[in-house]
Homo-oligomer: A and B are copies of this chain.
Amino acid sequence: MKKNLTLKQIAKELEVSVSTVSKALKNSEEISESTRQKIQAFAKLYNYKPNNIALSLKNRKTKTIAVIIPEIVHHFFAMVISGIESVANKSGYNVIICISNESYEREVINIEMLASGSIDGFIISLAKESQEKKDYHHIKEVINQGMPVVMFDRVTREVYTDKVIIDDVLATQEAIQFLLSKQRKDIAFITTPDYISVGRLRTEGYTKMLLQNDIEINEDLIVRIANEEELITQLEHLFDTQKFNALVAVNELYAVAALKIALKRGIKVPDELNIIGFTDGIISQHSTPAISTIKQNAFKMGEISAKLLINKLEEENEHEHYITEVIGTELLHRETTSL
């Protein structure tokens, strides 16, 4: 079978990163001239043509939108996709999903593959690694080529486009405020490293609210999970070394893990320990006791993302005007908070 050269193969052959190849082929000045020349020559030699389909399709609309999500085994993203599908299908659009698996490289590869002709626009939530690298050239590139992009949940200020988010700072503040109103002032906070925008903003909400109430921040009560394989170890360490009567986690996986450890240690939930998670997913609903949670309205987030994208696609005149839509959240009390 005749095969076409892929970005990845060029990268491997020349021992550079996929991102370098991608930038060099676009003649980006970020890449040294000698490297650019080498890569361009190689691509020419082996007949690499990323845009040959795109050209033939210039005026053809595919009625297909692509969604790039960081992971699939995650109820939040699954619900966002259900929301996107619901609006897209009603409007006669097909939906294609690709998974970056939290990898910057896979995000770049997926976007390049789809941008070259098979779709009309993107809905994207950033991979952890892209947020860590702060490299968004691949997204800026498709926008520059005139393809509409909507970002949701994990977004960045560095890309100017339509966005759909929740107010992570405010949502966390509301949860902390509730706990403080019940005289629970020793609050552990299970979050992600700060390079993940959502984790950083929620941590900001936590510290802001404590400071507003003249409570000193105890850094040992803040646990940042960089690697999910170490989740249990880090939580056990928290329970071993700290005293707290409430715990807030930035997702339901962290919340249920904390709940299980507490129950095993004979800690009474909610009497001795209140627990609040983010994401109203199947884990929170089905655990015993069921977990109180900050409901992010993922389905609605998907619906609005799809609406924004389709509006852009069907606008007669192109406007250089972007909006950020903020979706409301609500604190849903189940069995892990004391009312």
CA distance A118 to B120 in the complex (A): 14
Copies in the complex: 2
Within 8 Å by CB of A60, from B4, B97, B313, lies B4
Interface hits, A94-146 → B, CB 8 Å = 94-99, 101, 106, 109-110, 113-114, 117-118
CA distance A96 to B94 in the complex (A): 12
Residues of A within 8 A of B (CB): 1-4, 6, 8-9, 53, 56-57, 59-64, 72-75, 78-79, 81-82, 85, 89, 92, 94-99, 101, 106, 109-110, 113-114, 117-118, 253, 256, 260, 263, 282-283, 286-288, 313-314, 316
Contact check, A95 vs B92: say whether CB atoms are below 8 A apart.
no
Contact check, A263 vs B288: say whether CB atoms are below 8 A apart.
yes
Within 8 Å by CB of A286, from B74, B286, B316, lies B286
CA distance A260 to B253 in the complex (A): 20
CA distance A316 to B1 in the complex (A): 6
Contact check, A313 vs B1: say whether CB atoms are below 8 A apart.
yes
Contact check, B95 vs A99: say whether CB atoms are below 8 A apart.
yes
Q: Shortest Cβ distance from A220 into chain B, in angstroms?
A: 27
Contact check, A92 vs B2: say whether CB atoms are below 8 A apart.
no
Contact check, A89 vs B72: say whether CB atoms are below 8 A apart.
no
Q: Shortest Cβ distance from A54 into chain B, in angstroms?
A: 11
Given A1-B314, A59-B2: A94 in contact with B109 (beta carbons within 8 A):
yes
CA distance A74 to B74 in the complex (A): 10
Which residue, of A64, A94, A99, A286, has the highest number of chain B Cβ atoms within 10 A? A286
Which residue, of A96, A110, A114, A256, has the highest number of chain B Cβ atoms within 10 A? A96
Contact check, A106 vs B118: say whether CB atoms are below 8 A apart.
no
Set of chain B residues within 8 Å of A288, measured between Cβ atoms = 260, 263, 287-288
Set of chain B residues within 8 Å of A56, measured between Cβ atoms = 53, 56
Q: Shortest Cβ distance from A311 into chain B, in angstroms?
A: 12
Set of chain B residues within 8 Å of A96, measured between Cβ atoms = 96-98, 114
Set of chain B residues within 8 Å of A73, measured between Cβ atoms = 75, 78-79, 82, 282
Contact check, A94 vs B110: say whether CB atoms are below 8 A apart.
yes
